[in-house]
Amino acid sequence: MTTAHINTATHLGDSPVVIDIQGLNKWYGQFHVLKEINLQIRQQEKVVICGPSGSGKSTLIRTINRLEEHQEGRIVVDDEPLTNDVKQIERVRREVGMVFQQFNLFPHMTILDNVISGPIHVRNMPRKQAVDLAHSYLKRVGIAEQANKYPGQLSGGQQQRVAIARALAMQPKIMLFDEPTSALDPEMIKEVLDVMRELAEQGMTMICVTHEMGFAREVADTMVFMDKGQIVEYAPVKEFFTAPKEERSRMFLEQILNH
Amino acid sequence: MSEYTPSQNIPDRQPPATSVGIIGWVCKNLLCPWYNAVLTIVSCWAIWSAVAPFWEWAVTNASISLDPEVAKQHTGAAWGFIRDMWPVFMTGVYPAEERWRPLIALCIVVVLVSLSLVASYRRSRWLKILWFVSPIVVFALVYGGGITGLPVVGTHYWGGLMLTIMLSIVAMLAAFPISVLLALGRTSDMPIAKPFCVAYIELIRGVPLITLLFMASVVLPLFLPAGMELDKVLRALVGITMFFSAYLAENIRGGLQGISKGQYEAADALGMSYWKKTIVVILPQALRIVIPPMVNNFIGILKDTSLVGIVGLVDLLQIAFATTSNPKWFGRLEEAYVFIAFWYWILCYALSSYSQYLERKMPSASK
């Protein structure tokens, strides 16, 4: 099951592969965190990665924008292979937006300044144009009125939506979500998932690490189940939830759905 | 049987008089319970016994006559000495007929500072340009020569409060960028820069400032090509700047370590280059955290400039020594010390107030 997968999401059969991971291995010191990962993600595909904690889900998506280095294997994102070349890494990061569990907004900047920081400092966009762009994204995530506040004055759910707007303002081709709702109070999870749902409908290529199985069932094309650093199951979303092939994924689903 | 009736619509009442207002405050902080009252009385007595003799010396028994003979008939301070000598305290042996030049320079700086404190002017480009040009103008005014057409007053004539302020400001401005680079170098993992920064900081911090000043004024000229002579003030400045950049670097490193990994990752994920990330995201937060220790350092610089007397510069402290050996006012040490202490305090307190203002103004780095 660690060999190359056939993409089973039929409506995406012809889309170009935008992320190609081949034979990826990663170690933290002596600890083998990612083992022989092969994964292809097509344009507009929505992939949800799940699995028990410590299974390497976050590490995997963090290798896609090189927040984590890998020691073996090949990762090609949007036709750029990830090597130690800093300029190349920066090019990849410009096209790959990321949303973190802890939001990681810049606390010394207003919401607006957070959102325009990418376009201005990375894309060298004129300020006025960046501000217009930022306002349109803030409106899209539903916090246009808060533009002049500081992150500390917003609720967790609002902060996470700003973080999504900040990533989107770079107009990326791919979005990575690293447990975007895990640090939120229950009543705020929905507002963030709604924004992500809308983004999915508009055709963004998305990779989410999440435990929100309802969201996954509704939005994902493909499910990836990881355990102990390996991809244990890779399946179209329907198949994964109705007839998981692997014993370990079945057990995981039982635990997470019947709590 | 309990008789609990759920009550509704209880109107708001004033809190009890003993817990609010002046009476409440006095009672809570000064008199109650009994041992606080005892402490209050003991503290008042201690403060009084320290302040009263000083008050008698500085005010009740003091004289302000310019005549030393009149002053000798009073048991208290002879403030006439300060009245008589204050231009010397301000500018040292700077020629008396040229003293208007540092005075104008001072006015320029005061005007610029006042303009900068007006919020609506702060963002204007003109003010920035003025700040940028002001050091050149101030130097040209005080030093003279060149296109100014003013007679040259060499740095060996500079002294007093003027020299103290100039040394501190230039040392602060020069040490700050150096220390930021040192701190960034030390927290990086660059193979050559990091060990260099560590070595510099550890070496310089392990040496007293006096040693560095001696090195800068005695040893440094030995390394210079023959015939080339570095200005005495400049040599002292190099020593002070080297010393404080090492200290400041360690403070700034503390601030850098206070920034969470998530901030670096968020900037990276946007595709920012190292310098963009450092300047836009990391440094503003790190420097905000270290305002208090940084100002502590600046205050340290200001007061430690008094060590330049060792290498023959006549700063505020040396002026105090020099004026009290003047036969006219011989031995008026107390007045001189109180006077220069007052000036050091004014300057340090201004720095401290400004830092508190900055802390309030800048959004906190914490969430």
Q: Which residues of B touch A92 (CB under 8 A)?
A: 271
pLDDT of residue A197: 95
Residue B1: inside a domain, yes or no?
Answer: no
Using a CB–CB cut-off of 8 Å, the residues of B that contact A are: 260, 262-263, 265-273, 276, 280-281, 284-285, 288, 362-367
Q: pLDDT at residue A1 above 50?
A: no
Asked if residue B66 is part of any domain, the answer here is: no
Shared-domain flag, residues B114 and B170: no
Sequence letter at residue B81: F
Q: How many CB atoms lie within 10 A of CB A27?
A: 14
Is B27 within the bounds of a domain? Answer: no
Q: Which residues of A touch B262 (CB under 8 A)?
A: 100, 102, 104
pLDDT at B249 over 90: yes
Check whether residue B144 and residue B263 sit in a common domain.
no
Tokens of B229: 């002579």
Domain boundary among B121, B152, B183: B152
pLDDT above 90 coverage of chain B, percent: 41
Which residues in chain A are contacts of B367 at CB distance < 8 A?
A: 107, 151-152
With cut-offs at 50, 70 and 90, classify the pLDDT of residue A9.
low
> In terms of DSSP bridges, do strands A72-77 and A17-28 run parallel, antiparallel, or are they unpaired?
antiparallel
Same domain, B143 and B258: no
Query: For position B12, what pLDDT does the model report?
Result: 86
Query: How many degrees, rounded to 5, is the angle at CA B97 between CA B96 and CA B102?
Result: 75
Mean pLDDT of B308-332: 87
pLDDT band at A11, cuts 50/70/90? low
HEC profile of A128-157: HHHHHHHHHHHHHCCCHHHCCCCHHHCCHH
Same domain, B249 and B118: no
Say yes or no for a CB contact (<8 Å) between B367 and A151: yes
Single out the residue in B110, B127, B152 at which a domain terminates: B152
pLDDT tens digits, A139-188 = 999 999 999 999 999 999 999 999 999 999 999 999 999 999 999 998 89
Residue A6 has a pLDDT of 47
Contacts with B281 from chain A: Cβ below 8 Å: 106, 117
How far apart CA B104 and CA B249 sit, in angstroms, is 35
Using a CB-CB cut-off of 8 Å, the residues of chain B touching A122 are: 270-272, 276
Most confident of the ranges A134-143, B152-161, B353-362: A134-143
One domain for residues B125 and B252: no
Same domain, B202 and B185: yes
Give the helix, strand, coil percentages of chain A, each rounded to 5.
40, 25, 35
Domain annotation covers residue B6: no
Is residue A219 within 8 Å of residue A200, measured between CB atoms? yes
Q: Where do the H-state alpha helices sit in A9-65?
A: 57-64
* Higher-confidence position of A114 and B327: A114
Mean pLDDT of B197-223: 90
CA distance B159 to chain A (A): 42
Instruction: Collapse the DSSP code of B27 into the 3-class scheme (helix H, G, I; strand E, B; otherwise coil) and give the result.
Output: helix
Answer yes or no: is the ipTM higher than 0.95: no
Amino acid letter at A54? G
Q: Which of A211, A201, A174, A161 is nearest to A48 (CA)?
A: A211
In this prediction, residue B364 carries a pLDDT of 57
Asked if pLDDT for residue B253 goes beyond 90, the answer is yes
pLDDT given for residue B367 in this prediction = 40
pLDDT band at A4 (very low <50, low <70, confident <90, very high): very low
Distance CA A28, CA A71 (A): 10
**Residue B180 placed within a domain:** yes
Domain-located, residue B5: no
Local confidence band at B181 (pLDDT 50, 70, 90 cut-offs): very high
DSSP for B222-279, please give it.
HHSPTT----HHHHHHHHHHHHHHHHHHHHHHHHHHTS-HHHHHHHHHTT--HHHIII
In this structure, the answer to whether residues B286 and B200 fall within a common structural domain is: yes
Supply the Cα-derived Rg of chain B in whole angstroms: 28
The residue of chain B with its CA nearest to that of A114 is B281
Question: In terms of domains, do B251 and B355 share one?
Answer: yes
Whether the CB of A117 is below 8 Å from some CB of chain B: the reply is yes
Number of domains in chain B: 2
Same domain, B197 and B139: no
Mean pLDDT estimate for chain A: 91
CATH of the domain at B289: 1.10.3720.10
- Calculate mean pLDDT across residues B213-237: 83
- List, for residues A183-206, the tens digit of each pLDDT value: 999 889 999 999 999 999 999 999
Residue of A nearest to B285 (CA): A108
Q: Name the average pLDDT for chain B.
A: 87
In this complex, do A122 and B362 lie within 8 Å of one another by their Cβ atoms? no
Q: What is the pLDDT of residue A3?
A: 41
User: Do B270 and A170 lie within an 8 Å CB cutoff?
Assistant: yes
Residue B46 inside a domain? The answer is: no
Instruction: Give the model's pLDDT for residue A5.
Output: 46
What average pLDDT does range A2-9 have in this prediction? 46
Statement to judge: residues B175 and B304 lie in one domain:
yes
What would the pLDDT profile of A37-87 be if each residue is shown by its tens digit?
A: 999 999 999 999 999 988 999 999 999 999 999 999 999 999 999 988 999
In a domain, B256, yes or no: yes
Helices (H), chain B: 21-26, 34-55, 68-72, 79-91, 100-117, 119-122, 125-143, 160-187, 193-205, 209-214, 220-223, 232-257, 261-269, 274-276, 283-289, 291-304, 316-324, 333-361
Cβ–Cβ below 8 Å for A152 and B281 = no
How do residues B70-128 score in pLDDT, each as one tens digit? 888 888 888 988 888 888 889 888 888 888 998 999 899 889 888 887 777 777 888 88
Domain boundary among B131, B152, B173: B152
Asked if B200 and B293 sit in the same domain, the reply is yes
In a shared domain, residues B307 and B332: yes
To the nearest whole angstrom, how far is the Cα of B264 from the nearest Cα of chain A? 9
Which of A93, A106, A107 is facing B269, going by the closest CB pair? A93
Q: What is the mean pLDDT of residues B265-269?
A: 96
pLDDT at residue number B33: 79
User: How near does any CA of chain A get to the CA of B176, in Å?
Assistant: 21
pLDDT tens per residue, range B8-38: 788 888 877 666 777 777 777 777 778 888 9
User: CA A180, CA A200: separation in Å to the nearest integer?
Assistant: 15
Residue B340 structural domain: 160-361
- Alpha helices (H) in chain A, listed in sequence order: 57-64, 86-95, 111-121, 127-140, 156-168, 186-201, 213-219, 237-242, 247-257
